[in-house]
Amino acid sequence: MADSAPPLAGAGSVTTEWPVAGLSRVMRHITGYNAEGKSIFLSSDCGDHHRVIGEKQAIGNIIYSTNATPIEINGEVDIKYAKENEPGLTVHNGTVARLIDFGPGAESPQHRSLSLDYCVVIEGVFKLLLDSGEERIMQPGDTTVQRATAHQWINLTGNGLLPGRILFVLIDVNDVVVGEKKMERFLGTITKDYEGR
């Protein structure tokens, strides 16, 4: 029997490469040191890793990722790691900074990452819906700290007719136990976009 779950809103709305049509290009500037110990710009670009997410509902742009805490920046070890490794949703003992451009009316599936996430709305208006049914409307500059909780993002920008953008910084966490129950990661229909990396 075919899967009878209805498609998520906004499916197929992303028809361009990053950035989503209607949103500005974002530049990433990486700093470092010259031989005299002065701060310099090492590179300016649009990021190394971009990926269409869901059913063409969004595009993720990896701003940076790390694989250890504290981070080793000597010898540009961190830069090499970030360039050569497209992260999954999270990185064990590391961090992921990801911009997601949501297509008009796009909805993520209800999902839980085992990470502490700083989520900042950059452009647009979003509904953040928790599995308890609680919700908040978030506008540019609004921030949430997701503590490994189940949630869903819904792009309400322009009554669902315009794209929107959120910056996510995900930091790995220890196992999460509520009562005596170990909370599990689940990603729903976006599993395929993050597994195996």
- Which has more pLDDT, 194 or 92? 92
Residue labelled with tokens 């452009």: 123
Q: What are phi and psi of 41, to 5 degrees?
A: -90, 125
Q: What is the pLDDT of residue 32?
A: 97
> Could you tell me where the beta strands, DSSP code E, fall in 76-190?
95-102, 115-123, 126-130, 135-138, 143-147, 151-155, 164-172, 177-178, 181-182
Q: What are residue 86's phi and psi, to 5 degrees?
A: -80, 120
Report whether pLDDT(17) > 80. Answer: no
List CB contacts of 77: < 8 A, sequence separation 6 or more.
Answer: none
Rounded CA-CA distance 135/62 in Å is 27
Q: Which residue has the higher pLDDT, 4 or 133?
A: 133
What is the tens place of the pLDDT at every residue in 30-65?
999 999 999 999 999 999 999 988 888 899 999 999
